[in-house]
Amino acid sequence: DVKVTQSSRYLVKRTGEKVFLECVQDMDHENMFWYRQDPGLGLRLIYFSYDVKMKEKGDIPEGYSVSREKKERFSLILESASTNQTSMYLCASSLGASNQPQHFGDGTRLSIL
Amino acid sequence: RKEVEQDPGPFNVPEGATVAFNCTYSNSASQSFFWYRQDCRKEPKLLMSVYSSGNEDGRFTAQLNRASQYISLLIRDSKLSDSATYLCVVFFMDTGRRALTFGSGTRLQVQP
């Protein structure tokens, strides 16, 4: 079974802090994704990566950056956290072909105070 | 118009009922389709892929209608454990762009 692990289930940070969310997958998947999920808005893609050191903007990249230095790890960075970034963050990975189904981590519920 | 649209529900059905959800997509170049299931406060999990000829997995049947640009999920003999949110996912790729888009989900509540 694919295992996608997110570093924290719950996280509380303060406005203006730099926040790191980590995601690791153990199935040698090429593709990795970061989403946020908010009530009534569904899943929205923040950033994704199809290869090491490669990244592409999703639908809502503003206020975020990412890093993929190793194939198994994809980090999401909130440069200066704001209250409107309070959300559930979900990491996913998938095999190389873009149309393959994604496997999700448990999610990180991030609160910015 | 959203790229992928679903009725948010909730659909409240009794145990044993048959229930169906539709999901419409706007991009006619869409190539792959999936249904995911998401339990409350949990991550989405793949339920089934949707094939052009339609496919079945136990009590679940998925169908694709390209002409009308929608996919459907039929659940027969509903169980209490089927209560969840069902997410429709659509993949398309064309010149310079590829995207896997999630619908906002349809909530199903199966009642005893």
Which has more pLDDT, B53 or A81? A81
Mean pLDDT over B14-27 rounds to 95
Question: Among all residues of chain B, which has the CA nearest to that of A38?
Answer: B104
The two tokens of residue B35 are: 């249904």
Tell me which residue in B46, B98, B103 faces A98 most closely, judged by beta carbons.
Answer: B98
Share of chain B above pLDDT 90, in %: 76
DSSP code of residue A101: P
User: Chain A residues with CB-CB distance to B under 8 A?
Assistant: 33, 35, 40-43, 45, 90, 98-99, 101-107
Chain B residues near residue A42 by CB distance under 8 angstroms: 87, 102-105
pLDDT of B52 reads: 87
Question: How much is the average pLDDT of B6-33?
Answer: 93
**pLDDT at position B97 over 80:** no
Half-sphere exposure of B22 (CA within 13 A, CB side): 7
What is the residue-averaged pLDDT of chain B? 91
| CA nearest neighbour of B110 among B77, B61, B74, B88 | B77
Residues 6+ positions from B43 with CB-CB distance below 8 Å: A90, A104, A105, A106, A107
Least Cα separation, residue B50 to chain A (angstroms): 11
Task: Tell whether the model's pLDDT for residue A96 goes beyond 80.
Answer: no
Structure confidence by residue, pLDDT tens digits, B58-81: 999 999 999 999 999 999 999 999
pLDDT band of B96, cuts 50, 70, 90: low
Average pLDDT over chain A reads 93
Termini Cα distance of chain A: 36
Are residues B44 and A99, on separate chains, in Cβ contact within 8 Å? no
Instruction: Identify all chain A residues contacting B89, using CB atoms and an 8 Å cutoff.
Output: 101
The pLDDT, as a whole number, for residue A4 is: 95
CB pairs A-B closer than 8 Å: 41
* Residues A90/A35, Cβ–Cβ less than 8 Å: yes
Only one residue has tokens 């998401």, namely B38
Residue A83: Cβ within 10 Å count: 10
Between B25 and A1, the higher pLDDT residue: B25
